[in-house]
Amino acid sequence: MSLNFPEFPDDSALGTNFKYRRFIQLALHGEMELGNTDISYPYTIDVLKEGYSIVQEGGSTSNACGTITLVKGPHNIIVDTGLPQDKSLILQGLARHELTADDVHYVVCTHGHSDHVGNLNLFPNATFIVGHDISKGDEYQLHDFKQGIPYEIDAYVEVIPTPGHTRGDVSVVVYRTCYGTVVIAGDTFEKFEDLEDSDIWQNNSELPEDQEQSRIEVFKLADYIIPGHGPMFKVPDEFKHEVKIVRTPTE
């Protein structure tokens, strides 16, 4: 199954270059024939491990692990690989979907911290996107995330730069899921609570101003966010309004 989105020369006015939006725009404007197109949900999302972070009394230690997510569909994608000790958990999670590590096409790590990159070597056939670096075997493909350019895995999944937590952070955007658009955001969002208590994310941010902007970009895109250290949450309406976004209805 594939959707070939025609180029839409005048889409600069949409304020985004994301293809799903083009698709919806085109469809709504009757400029695209949907007759032979499969419009079911091409991807399902399963959080294999819900991340957490707990600062211990006294503040000198904390317990933490990053969220591990499977995006299953035309490409099988693991987003973040947890702590080194999470190997079995990942393999068991894949097995629940009748997949093995060999079936994983992409591994995306939102950034290079040790609770997100613990298990890269499980996936012999994968292309790796770890922060801004894209590799397969020892071959690295240059891609200009620094200029804000998304990397398209296919028409439904993009990796976008979301600098701030580290300079090289990326997030994964999955369009047309049963939740609408889901952004797997790594530590750009620590957890739902950081929407109200900004210390939670700012205390771990290399570049807080950049991260603030990245968070706004994610709010614009996302119906749901999977954060790095907490459960998936729906973006509250007031956060959509606060960033003054006029969205095109997606269904």
- In the complex, the residues that contact a second copy under the rule CB under 8 A are 59-65, 83-87, 109, 111-115, 117-124, 126, 128, 130-131, 133, 135, 137-142, 166-168, 206
Measured CA to CA, the distance from residue 223 to residue 234 in angstroms comes to 6
Distance in Å, CB of 161 to a second copy, minimum:
14
Of the candidates 96, 97, 98, 94, the residue with the CA atom closest to the CA atom of residue 82: 94
CB 109 within 8 A of CB 127: no
Distance in Å, CB of 119 to a second copy, minimum:
5
Whichever of 116 and 176 has its CB closer to a second copy, that residue is: 116
Whichever of 21 and 229 has its CB closer to a second copy, that residue is: 229
Measured CA to CA, the distance from residue 159 to residue 231 in angstroms comes to 21
Distance in Å, CB of 81 to a second copy, minimum:
9
Residues 6+ apart with CB under 8 A from 38: 1
Helix (H, G, I), strand (E, B) or coil at 149: coil
Measured CA to CA, the distance from residue 68 to residue 129 in angstroms comes to 15
CB 164 within 8 A of CB 188: yes
Distance in Å, CB of 143 to a second copy, minimum:
9
Of the candidates 190, 162, 185, the residue with the CA atom closest to the CA atom of residue 174: 185
* Helix residue ranges per DSSP H, 72-198: 87-96
Distance in Å, CB of 18 to a second copy, minimum:
24
CB 134 within 8 A of CB 152: no
Distance in Å, CB of 61 to a second copy, minimum:
5
Measured CA to CA, the distance from residue 237 to residue 95 in angstroms comes to 36
Distance in Å, CB of 112 to a second copy, minimum:
2
Whichever of 70 and 117 has its CB closer to a second copy, that residue is: 117
Whichever of 26 and 94 has its CB closer to a second copy, that residue is: 94
Whichever of 62 and 250 has its CB closer to a second copy, that residue is: 62
Whichever of 84 and 236 has its CB closer to a second copy, that residue is: 84
Of the candidates 126, 109, 105, 125, the residue with the CA atom closest to the CA atom of residue 117: 109
* Residue 158 burial (10 A CB sphere; 0-12, 13-18, 19+): buried
Whichever of 126 and 226 has its CB closer to a second copy, that residue is: 126
